[in-house]
Amino acid sequence: MKDFNEWLNTFRQSIADYHYYIDFNNVYRNTNQYKVELNILNSLVGATDIESDFRQLLTKYPECLKAIPILLAKREEEIFCMDKKGSFTYNFARMNLDVPVRLLYERDRLVRFNTKSCYF
């Protein structure tokens, strides 16, 4: 039977090499998947009223929503956040922006998310 401490001493401090942190092949593959949406979102750079421009952008190009998690380096399409006002789940894959009432509600929630996450 092996000595536990001897076995534990064979462990390395980490399994991470330089490729562990950023897999650029994966980055390029994921960004190519959202190339058009990312370029549309890029139009917000330098906007004087980014919140208003973002609302207009979502109205005209709701498909841009699916690119937001990748900008935040998130693999999941659902992002959970909490603050003093409560907890919020943002599901970027399931937001329904085709119905006008839902569009207004979801746009306001997304502006809040982007403002609170310092994306704006």
Residue 82 lies in a domain: yes
- Tell whether 69 is covered by a domain: yes
Overall number of domains in the chain: 1
Residue 11 lies in a domain: no
Q: Which domain holds residue 77?
A: 23-116
**92 in Cβ contact with 68 (< 8 Å):** yes
Q: Is 27 helix (H, G, I), strand (E, B) or coil?
A: helix
Residue at 43 is within a domain? yes
Rounded to 5, what percent of the chain is helix, strand, coil?
55, 10, 35
pLDDT in tens, 57-111: 988 998 888 888 888 877 788 888 888 888 888 887 777 666 666 777 788 888 8
Q: Is residue 81 part of a domain?
A: yes
Does the pLDDT at position 11 exceed 80? yes
Percent of the chain with pLDDT over 90: 18
Does 13 map to a domain?
no
Separation of alpha carbons 18 and 20, rounded Å: 5
Kindly state whether residue 1 falls inside one of the protein's structural domains: no
